[in-house]
Chain A
Amino acid sequence: MTCPLHRNPITAVEGPAVGVSIEHLSKNFGRLQALRDVSFAVEPGEIFVLMGPSGSGKSVLLKHIVGLEAPSDGRVLIEGRDATAEGTLENVRIAMVFQAGALFNSLSVYDNLALYPREHRLGTEAGIREKVMRALQILSLENTAHKFPSELSGGMKKRVAIARALVMEPQLMLYDEPTSELDPIMGATISEIIATLRDEYHVTSVVVSHDRELALGIADRVGILMDGSLVFLGAPAELHAPEDPRIANFFHPKIDLKNPRFKSLEA
C-alpha cells in the first residue's frame, strides 16, 4: 500500500476492512415502530449512503450498528460479531459522527480529539499532537484548537465531530448527516475525505445524508428508508430515474406554489 513516508494526511488504518450485515432488524419504541424488518449488507470497504425523509429511522439504524440501541427483533453483525456483544467495540474500531456532534462540552476542541488516543494509549503525546493538529487542519479548524464546544458555530461543531472521528483511525465510519450544516465547499471536502478513506485505506463508511451531490458523487450503493422500511437498495445511478413514485417525489420535490403541500393537509 502507501509508503510510510508518504502517509496520507488523513489517517493510517490498520487491519482489514470490515463489513456490516443487518438482518431483519426491527425496533419499537413503545407503540412506535421506528424500523420494520430492515435487511441489507454493507460490503467491506464500501461507501453506503442511507437516505430518507426526516423521522424515517436513519439515526436509529446507525445507533444499532454501533451497538447503542438493542434490536427489538433481528440482529446486526459486524464482521460476524453481534453489534451489541461486549467485545465488538474492542475488536473493531468504529467511529460515529453524531447528528448533533456529541462533543465533550467540558473539554477543549484539542482535548476532544486527543481523548481517544490518550485513553487507548496510542502513541506519545507528541505523536498524538501531530495527529490531532493534522485532523484539525484538514477540516480548517486550526484556530479552534483551544476553544470549547460552546464557543463554536453549528457547522464548526460538526467539523470537530468529524475530525474527532478521523483521529480514531476507524475501520468502520458512521456519519449522521455530516454535511447538513456545512457550506457547499466544506460539504465537498467532506465527500472527498470519505472517498479518500475508502480508496486508500479501505475504510467502510455508512453515511446518512440528504446531500444528493454526496450520494451521487461518492456512494457505491444507496439505501432509502421510509417509515422504517427499506424501500430502495441499489447503485446511485438508478436514482436518476427511479420507478417508485415515492422515491421520485423524495428526490425531485417540485415546489408547487399553486398547490402547496401543507394546504392539502388542511383539506
Chain B
Amino acid sequence: MNQLTSILEGFGRAMLLLIESGRHLGTLPRQRARFIEQCYLIGYTTLPIVAILCFFMGSVLALQSGYSMENFGAKQFIGSLVGLSFARELGPVIVAILVAGRVGSAITAELASMKVYQEIDALVTMNIPPARMLVLPRLAAVLVMMPVLTIIGILIGWFGGAVVCTYVDFISIEPEAYFAALRSFMQFKDVGTGILKAEIFGFVIVLICCSIGLNTRGGPREIGASVTKAVVASLISILVLDYFVTKALL
C-alpha cells in the first residue's frame, strides 16, 4: 500500500514538473546554449557505448538465429529477423536503457546535489524556476537526440548482423543476400515505430530522473538513493511502456 502511494505520488510530481516546464516553452530559444550543451551530453557522449552495444547485440542475434534456423533451412531469413527486431524493438530499447543508465543517473545526481546543497533554493529565491532552467533544456535535448541515437543504433545493429553472417562459417551468407532479405520485409513504418518508441522512452526517462532529483531531501546518502531509485524507475517504465506502446502501434 505504501509502495503504491509513493508510486502515485512520484507520478503526480513528474506530471506537475512536466506542466511547469511546458509553461516555459517560450524561453527555449534564448536557452539555446543550455540546450546545445545538453544535446552534447545526452547524444554525443552516449554514442560510443550505443555503437558498441548495438554492434554486439546485432552479431549475437545473427549468431543465435543462424544456429537455430539452420535446422529448418530458414537461414536466408536471418537478415529479415535481425532487421525487423532491431528496428522495432532492440534499437529503441537498448538506446533507452543506455540513456537511463548513463544520462538519467547523471541528471538525477546533479539535480539532487543541487537540491541538497540549497542551490535549488537559491534559484527559487532568484525567481528563476528550476523547471525552466534545468528541466526544459534537457527534455528538449532528449527529444532531439533520441532519434539520432536510435537510427545510428539500428544501423550499427544491422551491420553487426551482416558481419557475423559473412564471416561465421556455418552461416556464411553474402552481405548482399543479407541486406536483400532485410529490405524485403522492412517497411518505413517499422523504423518509424522504433523511433517513436525511443522518443517516448527518452522523454519519460528524463522527466522521471529530473523529478526524483529535484525532490531529494537529506544529504549525500539520499543523493545516492535517488540515483538508484531514478534508474530503477526508468528501467521499469521503459519495459512497461514498451509493451503498451508496441500494442497500440501494431
A and B, one complex? Answer: yes
Chain A contacts to B: CB under 8 angstroms:
63, 66-68, 89-90, 94-96, 98, 100, 102-106, 115-116, 119-120, 168
A120 to B119, CA, bound (A): 18
Contact indicator B127/A102 (Cβ below 8 Å): no
Contact indicator B126/A98 (Cβ below 8 Å): no
Contact indicator A115/B128 (Cβ below 8 Å): yes
Contact indicator A105/B119 (Cβ below 8 Å): yes
* Residue from the list B113, B118, B119, B128 in contact with A116, Cβ < 8 A: B128
Chain B, range 86-129, C-beta contacts under 8 Å to A = 110, 113-114, 117-119, 121-122, 124-128
* Residue from the list A67, A90, A98, A106 in contact with B122, Cβ < 8 A: A98
Contact indicator A89/B125 (Cβ below 8 Å): yes
A95 to B121, CA, bound (A): 11
Q: Which residues of A contact B118 (CB under 8 A)?
A: 98, 100, 102
* Residue from the list B110, B113, B127, B133 in contact with A90, Cβ < 8 A: B127
Q: Summarize B's interface: helix, strand, loop or mixed.
A: helix
Residue from B121, B124, B127, B133 whose CB has the most chain A CB atoms within 10 Å: B127
A120 to B126, CA, bound (A): 9
Contact indicator B125/A119 (Cβ below 8 Å): no
CB distance from A108 to the nearest CB of B (A): 14
Size class of the contact patch on chain B: 10 to 19
Q: Which residues of A contact B117 (CB under 8 A)?
A: 100, 102, 105
**Chain B 207-226 per-residue mask, 1 if CB under 8 angstroms from chain A, else 0:** 00000000000000000000
Q: Which residues of B contact A116 (CB under 8 A)?
A: 126, 128
A120 to B129, CA, bound (A): 11
Nearest A residue to B121 by beta-carbon distance?
Answer: A68
Report if A119-B122 is in contact (Cβ < 8 Å); known contacts: A90-B127, A100-B117, A105-B117: no
Contact indicator B125/A96 (Cβ below 8 Å): yes
Q: Which residues of B contact A106 (CB under 8 A)?
A: 110
Contact indicator A120/B125 (Cβ below 8 Å): no
CB distance from A181 to the nearest CB of B (A): 16
Instruction: Give 20 CB contacts A-B under 8 Å.
Output: A63-B121, A66-B125, A67-B125, A89-B127, A94-B125, A95-B125, A96-B122, A100-B118, A102-B119, A102-B122, A103-B119, A104-B114, A104-B119, A105-B114, A105-B117, A115-B126, A115-B128, A119-B126, A119-B128, A119-B133
Nearest A residue to B120 by beta-carbon distance?
Answer: A102
Q: Which residues of A contact B121 (CB under 8 A)?
A: 63, 68, 98, 102
CB distance from B223 to the nearest CB of A (A): 13
A102 to B118, CA, bound (A): 5
Contact indicator B128/A68 (Cβ below 8 Å): no
A132 to B185, CA, bound (A): 63
A98 to B126, CA, bound (A): 12
Q: Which residues of B contact A66 (CB under 8 A)?
A: 125
A132 to B128, CA, bound (A): 18
**Chain B 5-32 per-residue mask, 1 if CB under 8 angstroms from chain A, else 0:** 0000000000000000000000000000
A51 to B97, CA, bound (A): 52
CB distance from A175 to the nearest CB of B (A): 13
A94 to B113, CA, bound (A): 24
5 further A-B pairs in the complex, CB-CB below 8 A; given A94-B125, A102-B119: A66-B125, A68-B121, A68-B125, A102-B122, A116-B128
A106 to B124, CA, bound (A): 17
Pairs A-B, 7 closest by C-beta atoms: A102-B118, A102-B122, A89-B127, A96-B125, A119-B128, A66-B125, A116-B126
A100 to B114, CA, bound (A): 13
CB distance from B243 to the nearest CB of A (A): 38
